[in-house]
Structure formats: structure tokens, C-alpha cells
Chain A
């Protein structure tokens, strides 16, 4: 190892005096033609080189190298510490997000997303159910659709509470499976379920979990032996402890979401699933809708959030078509954010998905998207349907 650093000393620039050049090996072997190379630089005098080298000589080069590495880690940790996933907060469990925008979100230990507004004891509950869009890691508490809705309702003289309950990656069968827990735990007066193209239609992943029992559609747990009451996506106590280091947190998340799926080929499987999903099966969507109706009753309101439109007349996603068709068939309350999103793009020049550090229009609903969703739900509640 010492030899390694000794060689380095010959290659790196000296601290004082002249820079030792890395000599491109342009000198020809004996007997060959001379290579014209203007970069050949005469080496420095031995005295200067020796002096410079002496100044650099370290007794423990390996330890110095390790020390430098640790110092780098420390500096980076300090620089990025504000983006750590630190979890303890007076408001509840705190999740810091930097992958999609920069935000701090807070959760109750049972997984409910805090709206940032004071809760009114005994007030009727509006429950917003969904996946990572409802979880809203990428938004501050006050920017979530639940928070906006709650403020608008209260400003309108309706002292209601809005609960937000979502899990990353949840889909149709998950909502059916969790129905009993949701109803028993929260007793909501209104339930709004936010669905996206990922929640409906895959015969392989979603259809397989749905079974018919006693004339009702029920969902099998995602994992054998699973019970309703899914743990929050922000992780358990150990995971939350690890999140106190920004570097460790970022490295783990990056490895978990980007590197590992590539190593195992899961990314390819995910893409294959998306391909399957794009060939939406009306039968599967119908089954999911029946299951939701059986579990939550006709009082369930389903809001569909489409992908970001980029024109006044974008093609309607097959998932949305299938969902609306199934809603009509089973007499359920369904709406889509499509028109609002198109209007927002063409009139207000706003994009409702994507964040400042992601591809425009890609990913989760942003603050503007949540505002639109809150508007839609507010209008829905006022319409009395």
C-alpha cells in the first residue's frame, strides 16, 4: 500500500514550486520514428522534486487516506443533513423527501397523514383513501388535498375533519382487503378513493388476488397470512432510526428503489407488469369495482387521477375508460380529474404532476394537482351526490 502512495506522489502535483507532469508515454522505443507530441514536458529538477516529495511524505498514508474518506463523509453528511429522513418531531413521525421536490410530511403512528390543521373532536370525518398520492411524501402538510379540503370546508362553515390514509403501491385489491379495518377504525361519513392507472386493470397482479366468496368479491392478502392494517410506508423503528443519517438514508433509498431492482431484474418485471396493465381487462376492472362496492357500499366516491395531459384533446387512458364503464355498470360514484387538468394546462398554464427536480409532468400529483383534487372533492361534497 505504501508503494501505491509512493507512485501517487510521483503523479500528483506538488504543493509548492513546479507541478510534476504526468508524462504521456510519447517517447518512442529505440529505433522507431520520433513521435511529434507537443505535450512532452521536461521533468523538473531533482532538487525541487525531492523537496516537494519530502513535504508530502506521510508516515501512515493508508490512515491518512481513510481519514480523508471519513472527513468527506462527515462533510457530506453535514451538507445534506437537512434532507435526512429524520423521523422524530413534535408533530408526529416526520418524513423528509428530496427525490420529488423537497418537503417534510408528518404522520400519526397509525399511518394517517397529518393535515396540519387542528382536529375538531367529534366532528364528522371525510376519509381520503389511496396510494402514494394520498400519502403525499413530496408535499408539505398544508399542501395536501386533505389539508386544502379541510380548510375550505371549515371556511364554508362545515367543521369537519379530513383524514388521509394511503400506502405506497396500494392498488384495487388492497383497498378491498383493508375495507373492514378502515370502516371499523375511522367510521367515516364520506370516503373518497383516489385511483390512478396503476390501481386498476392488471389481470396478473390484481385479478389474481380477487376471489368470490358467498356472492361477494373479496381480496386475498398481498402476502400469505397478512391481516388488515398495513404498516405505514415510512418504515418501522429501525428504519426510522437509520433515516437520521442523510447519507445512509439516501444511499439506502437509492439502492432499494434504483440499484437493487436493476441487479435483480425487478425493473424489467415492473415494466412487463406495466405492459400487461396497459392492456386493461374490463373484466378485472369490473371485479375490482364490484369488490369495492361490496366492501364500502355505494357511498364510496372514486376520483380518478389521469396521467398529465399535454394537449387539449389527449387520448383517454384505457384504464380510465374501463373504470368509468364499470362505475356506470355498478351504479357507483366516479369522477375524473381529466377535464380539470386539461383546463389547468390550457387556461392556467399549470402542470399538475411532476416536481422541480423530476421530469415535468411525470410522477406524483404535485401541490397544484392536490389543489385540483381538493377542488373536485369539495364540489362533489357540495353537489350532494
Chain B
């Protein structure tokens, strides 16, 4: 069930009706649990068993870990949980990949397993792993109610493509009443509308161009290939952040607050900053549960660089069972290591690179990396990259007008969002709860288009309350959305992970 389908709209309306009818908190939680089970089972009922496995195993492992002070037993249950989670992920996502590569290495032909990749397995596996690890580290208390834990695991808005919510964020919110309320719905609906716009007005429009360029890259000129790559950079951002916005908006309507996943990533002036702004919940997960356990930056400079590369390489593999993803991750890891090296040497230097240069270098590097992420294979990726650097640059020049309309809009939204964010940060520095003046207005009005709400600034409604302005905005959005939203919507890109 895709968020942008009519089926989901009906499903969600029924969920809301059920929540409104339920009288107590636990009834509402139970209704959400049932809805989540239906949501996942609608796609393939048999894979509900797969979803139930970590729900049961990790629940009991966490309880066992918390019940004993014996470090060996605690470690045993942690390893048991890790093996079960990684085993599921390994079998369903990577079995064929490893078998295929092993067979190639041995020079043999083997028949592959007939495995259908369960939607969202990477996301909910990471979610349940973080829960057990947090309990092991004594960062959180284990959840004592199984069905509440099951609700955390199966919670439908973020089940298939994130944000990766940690138990420490989600479980405490179980104490809320979850009664639908207008103020929450008002903000939530705006986020949902924003997510729909990003997906159907931008991502799916650009997808038509991107698909053609990446299917025959050798035919196109350097300019067109660059346009295709930039279009893909915008497509994947709007597709994924659009999904996150819808998930966060839906959750807000239901009564939960999910962590933000994006913060204007393309404004980053370094690759390190990019990963602080892109898929925030994943990069934080990798930092806390992979990079730091590997030793982080505590074991010398060289080990830091190695740790960064390994973390991102595995992060790349997490995205998909393909060498292109592994190399994509490795390239980002290498970028992070090189930036770290640069920062380490910066103390001795008296000069600084201007931000604009840092921004351009980061954006170009990220675009090159996206080529590996999008291309079907290395051969295609190499053709695209050669075109990008001007080798064999002659080809079809195709001007895809949507790209030229969308890019200025995104740039303007980012510039305003950047200004507004700074205004809010300045206000936060002065210990004012809110920014004032233009910064405040801009933040309230436009920031949402490009970024998450600043944690210091609370969460605002995008639209004003004045009925006239509200009528204007709502009508204009409906008309534009009706006329220009892509009718043949593609599935969200991150569904495949």
C-alpha cells in the first residue's frame, strides 16, 4: 500500500475513524497495531510472520538482558538478538548476492533462491536491533508489554521506509492519549500535503527524464547527462524526504512525533555536513551502533579514517545487495575520511576554503556518487561518469523544461530556509524562544518547504489562520496539485531497500 494511492487514503481515513471511536488509550494503541498489521499484510500476508519474528525475539531478549546482571548472559542474549536480526536480513536481502558472487569467484553456475525482498526489512531490522542494543547499554528500560512493543515495531507510517525511529523516542510517547485533535491534524495535514507535493509534483515528474537518460546515457550530451544527474539528485531527495514528510505528518495526526530525516542536505559545505543533513536517522544509527563500537575516533587518526570508510561501506550495502551500492557507500566513506584528514590539517593552516567552494565540491561529489546509486550496473555508471567529465561529450541535447522550472523553486526555498534557519539559531543563541521579525515570518512560512523545524523553535503550522489567506492557499494548492501532479506515480525509491 503506497502512501500516494487512493487505497491508502481510504485506509487512513478508516484508521482515523477507528481512533475517534475508541474510548481509551489502550484501545487506540490496539487499533493502531491492527492497522499496522493490515497495512503490511496487504502487501503479502505471509511476510507478517517475518515481521512477527523480531517482534517476539527482541522483546524477550531485551527482557532477559534487563533481568540479569551477569555480563556473559547479557552478552549472550544480545548476540542471540543480533544473529536473529542479521540472519533474517542476510537471508532475505543478501543471500542471492553472496551466493552469486561466491559462485562467480569459484567459476561455477548456481541456481539462485527464489526470494521476494520483504518491503522495509532493512528499516525494521535496524529499529529492533537498536532497541536491544539500547537495553543492553542500559540506555533504556525494556518494554514490559509485548503488544506495545509490537506496535513500536510494526507502526505503519514509518514501517517500510523510515525514519528509523528508536525505542527511546517512540516508546515513551505511548503514554499519550492518541486522541485525534484538530491542532495536531492541522500541522500533520500540511506535512502530508507537502510530502505529496514533493513526491508527485517534483520527484515523479523528474523520474521520467532521469529514467530515459540513465537507460541510454551514451546517446546524450554532457549537458543533458549532467541535467539527468542533477534531476536524479532532486528526485531522490524529494522522493525520500517527501515520504518522510508524509510519515511524520500522518504520525502527527495520529498522535506521535517522529524524528526529522532531512535538513536541506544540498546546502552542505562538506561531505560530513551532508551526512548530518541527509537521512539523519540512518546516519545517527550508523554512528551510534557501528562507527562508535568500531572505535570511532578514539583509536588514532588512521583507525578513524578506516572506521569511517567501513561504516559507510556497510551503510551502502544496507541500501541494496549490489556492488554499485557498496562502492557508493565506500565513496562516501572515502569522502568523509578525506574531509576528516583535511580538518585535522586545518589547525595548522592559516587560510580557509570559502564556503561556496566547499558547497560546490560537496554537491558535485554527491552527484557523482548518485550515479552509482542510480545506475543499473557499473558499465552504465562509467558511461555516465565519462560523459559528466566531458569524455565523448557529443550527443542529444534535450531540454527538459520541468527541471528548469523545479530547480529555481528548490533553490529559492533552500535560500529562504537557510536564512530563516540562521535567524532562528541566532535567536536561540540569545536565549529567546522565538526568532523575531523577518526571520520568524520566513521560518513559519517557508522553512518547511526545505527543511525540518528547528528544534529550538517549536513546530509551526505552515499556513496562517486568517480565513482569507487560508482559502487562497488551500485552493491554489489543490488546483496546482490537480493539474500538475504526476498521474502515473512511481513507487517510492526507498521501498526497494
The 8 A CB mask of B453-464 against A (1 = contact, 0 = none) is 101111111011
Cβ–Cβ contact B487 & A250, under 8 A? no
Does chain A have a CB within 8 A of B353? no
**Which of B182, B186, B400, B460 meets A19, CB within 8 Å?**
B460
Q: How far is the CA of A28 from the CA of B172 in the complex (A)?
A: 8
Cβ–Cβ contact A7 & B182, under 8 A? yes
Does chain B have a CB within 8 A of A360? yes
Does chain A have a CB within 8 A of B359? no
Report B-chain residues with C-beta under 8 Å of the C-beta of A350: 396
Q: Which of A9, A11, A75, A354 has the most CB of B within 10 A?
A: A11
Cβ–Cβ contact A7 & B183, under 8 A? yes
Known: A22-B186, A247-B479, A251-B482. A33 touches B459 (CB 8 A): no
Of A34-42, A103-111, A191-199, A231-239, the one contacting chain B is: A34-42
Does chain B have a CB within 8 A of A310? yes
Q: How far is the CA of A359 from the CA of B205 in the complex (A)?
A: 9
A102 to chain B, nearest CB (A): 9
Residue of A nearest to B454 (CB): A39
Does chain B have a CB within 8 A of A73? yes
- Residues of A1-29 at the interface with B, using a CB-CB cut-off of 8 Å, are 5, 7-13, 15, 18-19, 21-26, 28-29
Cβ–Cβ contact A13 & B444, under 8 A? yes
Known: A65-B470, A359-B209. A349 touches B458 (CB 8 A): no
Q: How far is the CA of A18 from the CA of B441 in the complex (A)?
A: 9
Q: How far is the CA of A275 from the CA of B482 in the complex (A)?
A: 29
Does chain B have a CB within 8 A of A61? yes
Residue of B nearest to A350 (CB): B396
Cβ–Cβ contact B472 & A23, under 8 A? no
The 8 A CB mask of A292-324 against B (1 = contact, 0 = none) is 000000000000000000110000000000000
Cβ–Cβ contact B475 & A11, under 8 A? no
Cβ–Cβ contact A310 & B219, under 8 A? yes
Cβ–Cβ contact B175 & A35, under 8 A? yes
| A interface secondary structure, majority | loop
Report A-chain residues with C-beta under 8 Å of the C-beta of B213: 360
Residue of A nearest to B178 (CB): A25
B263 to chain A, nearest CB (A): 14
Does chain A have a CB within 8 A of B433? yes
Interface residue tally on A, bucketed by range: 35 or more
Does chain B have a CB within 8 A of A78? no
Cβ–Cβ contact B396 & A349, under 8 A? yes
Cβ–Cβ contact B212 & A359, under 8 A? yes
| B interface secondary structure, majority | helix
Report B-chain residues with C-beta under 8 Å of the C-beta of A155: none
Interface residue tally on B, bucketed by range: 35 or more
Q: How far is the CA of A138 from the CA of B173 in the complex (A)?
A: 55
Cβ–Cβ contact B182 & A67, under 8 A? no
The 8 A CB mask of B73-115 against A (1 = contact, 0 = none) is 0000000000000000000000000000000000000000000
The 8 A CB mask of B432-446 against A (1 = contact, 0 = none) is 011010001100110
Does chain A have a CB within 8 A of B471? yes
B129 to chain A, nearest CB (A): 22
B417 to chain A, nearest CB (A): 16
Report A-chain residues with C-beta under 8 Å of the C-beta of B445: 13
Does chain B have a CB within 8 A of A62? yes
Residue of A nearest to B476 (CB): A72
Q: How far is the CA of A200 from the CA of B471 in the complex (A)?
A: 50
Q: How far is the CA of A73 from the CA of B173 in the complex (A)?
A: 42
Does chain A have a CB within 8 A of B13? no
Report A-chain residues with C-beta under 8 Å of the C-beta of B183: 7, 10-11, 22-23
Cβ–Cβ contact B186 & A11, under 8 A? yes
Residue of B nearest to A358 (CB): B208
Cβ–Cβ contact A65 & B468, under 8 A? yes
Does chain B have a CB within 8 A of A117? no
Q: How far is the CA of A15 from the CA of B176 in the complex (A)?
A: 31
Cβ–Cβ contact A67 & B468, under 8 A? yes
Cβ–Cβ contact A62 & B212, under 8 A? no
Known: A254-B483, A359-B208. A67 touches B257 (CB 8 A): no
Report B-chain residues with C-beta under 8 Å of the C-beta of A18: 433-434, 436, 440
Instruction: List the 8 closest A-B pairs by CB distance, nearest first.
Output: A68-B471, A12-B465, A41-B458, A32-B175, A21-B458, A65-B471, A68-B472, A64-B467
Q: Which residues of A contact B (CB under 8 A)?
A: 5, 7-13, 15, 18-19, 21-26, 28-29, 32-42, 56, 58, 61-62, 64-69, 71-73, 75-76, 247, 250-251, 254, 258-259, 262, 310-311, 345, 349-351, 354, 356-362
Listed by A's residue number, 28 A-B pairs whose Cβ atoms lie within 8 Å are A5-B467, A9-B465, A10-B465, A13-B460, A13-B464, A21-B459, A22-B461, A25-B177, A28-B172, A34-B172, A35-B172, A35-B175, A36-B172, A38-B456, A68-B474, A72-B472, A251-B479, A254-B483, A311-B216, A349-B221, A350-B396, A351-B396, A356-B401, A357-B400, A359-B209, A360-B213, A360-B400, A362-B208
Q: A33-B172, A72-B476 are in contact. List 11 more A-B contacts (CB 8 A).
A: A7-B183, A10-B465, A12-B463, A21-B459, A22-B461, A25-B255, A29-B25, A56-B466, A65-B471, A69-B471, A254-B483
